[in-house]
Amino acid sequence: MAHLIKLPSVAADTSGGTLHQWLKKEGDVVAVGDALAEIETEKAIVEINAEQAGVLGRIVVQAGAASVPVNTVIGVLLAQGEDASAIDRALAEAGAAVQPAAAAAASAPAGNAAAACPPANCAAAPASAAAAPKAPAAASNAPVPGGRLFASPLARRLAAQWHVDLLGVTGTGPHGRIVRRDVEAARDRAPAAAPAALAGRPAARRVPHTGMRRAIARRLTESKQNVPHFYLTVDCRMDALLALRAQANQGGAVKLSVNDFIVRAAALALREVPEVNASWHEDAVEYHAGADISVAVATDGGLVTPIVRDADVKSLSAIAGEIVELAGRAKINRLKPEEFTGGSLTVSNLGMYGISQFAAIINPPQAAILAVGAAEKRPVVDSDGQLAAATVMTVTLSADHRVVDGAVGARWLAAFRTLIENPVRILL
């Protein structure tokens, strides 16, 4: 019988997503495990794989439609020998199972309702809903919470060039999409001249929030408001580590970065002070078995934190290769949910930008994040009291006081500094 393809839950904190693209067309033969479509969540683009074999009979939710909730019916897979009539039967028999799609259509822009609501379900909608007054045309392209503005790439480029705010533009393209003629019309409707005080000054440009930017804003606001942060800072002398790194990179197939040493040192410090390797939950503190280090990666859409699992038992070369591979996929939104979910502690390194010192916001449910500054030449006083020049790196640990006490955080930071200043121990 026909099989309903539903939007899966790709991560614990994901309530929905947007169909980025369909990888199969209606009428295509599908085998078990075939990639059917790509779903765009707040943090990544994830493939949906077929759980059954058959033929893709109908695409219910089109690519680029408004964000839909988990368990929404997005397509129908026909079994061998079934015809199109089986599609309507399957949708009708599903009944309540199709309701999330109808709810999504009701909250979506008017221009996207046809894409979010399958014909069989729309036909069965209550008469009162059908008789409801239509929304004004200007609302057809309004972004929905967690959604996005629908405009062609050319329209976005022209809007930026002509300083046209797309939020005030009504789309006349398919499903309310903003196209070139809409941007041109908005430009022509703009005031002929700016006030004298603003003559020659570019107009302000508004860029709608992406799903990732909304997620970052929500999570970090919750963290700063709800997690009692405290901060510990130490200076680490880097001369021995830099000399060891230079020696290791001579003729090596994998080039080690300072950050690779830092990630492994953070994991080894978690092994020495396991009280920091924990997460806060309302009913208990969870102590993690492995030292999984999240590495902050800057992308065009925002900050992503892929995880190096069991970094305390991996070699530096393995860590280096893994970070390069994960960061590369993070920048094109191709991480799997399990590759950025969880983790023991995050390392955020802004040293390459010349930042000497900063304090980072904890990434829940982790209990700590290490902010790493630049390694720079500074005057120091040696143990014999003599003034000398040394390469020094300042690091700041932000810790969750519900999980980590001040003395515990200090012990972890001391263990980390000892490893950095005696880097041969990082190799062991």
Would you name the residues annotated as active-site residues? 401
Paired tokens of 32? 């078990």
Paired tokens of 389? 């020049």
CB neighbour list of residue 34: distance below 8 Å, 6 or more residues apart: 24, 49, 50
What type of residue is 21? Q
- Please state, in angstroms and rounded to a whole number, the distance separating the CA atoms of residues 146 and 250: 49
What distances in angstroms separate CA 300 from CA 70, 122, 214, 246, one per listed residue? 26, 38, 14, 31
Half-sphere exposure of 15 (CA within 13 A, CB side): 7
3-state SS, one letter per residue, for the chain: CCEEEECCCCCCCCCEEEEEEECCCCCCEECCCCEEEEEECCCCEEEEECCCCEEEEEECCCCCCCCEECCCEEEEEECCCCCCHHHHHHHHHHHHHHHHHHHHHHHCCHHHHHHHCCHHHHHCCCHHHHCCCCCCHHHHHCCCCCCCCCECHHHHHHHHHHCCCHHHCCCCCHHHCECHHHHHHHHHHCCCCCCHHHCCCCCCCCCCCCHHHHHHHHHHHHHHHHCCEEEEEEEEECHHHHHHHHHHCCCCCCCCCHHHHHHHHHHHHHHHCHHHCEEECCCCEEECCCCCEEECEECCCCEECCEECCHHHCCHHHHHHHHHHHHHHHCCCCCCHHHCCCCCEEEEECHHHCCCCCCCCCCCCECEEEEEEEEEEEEEECCCCCEEEEEEEEEEEEEECCCCCHHHHHHHHHHHHHHHHCCHHHHC
- Please state, in angstroms and rounded to a whole number, the distance separating the CA atoms of residues 2 and 120: 14
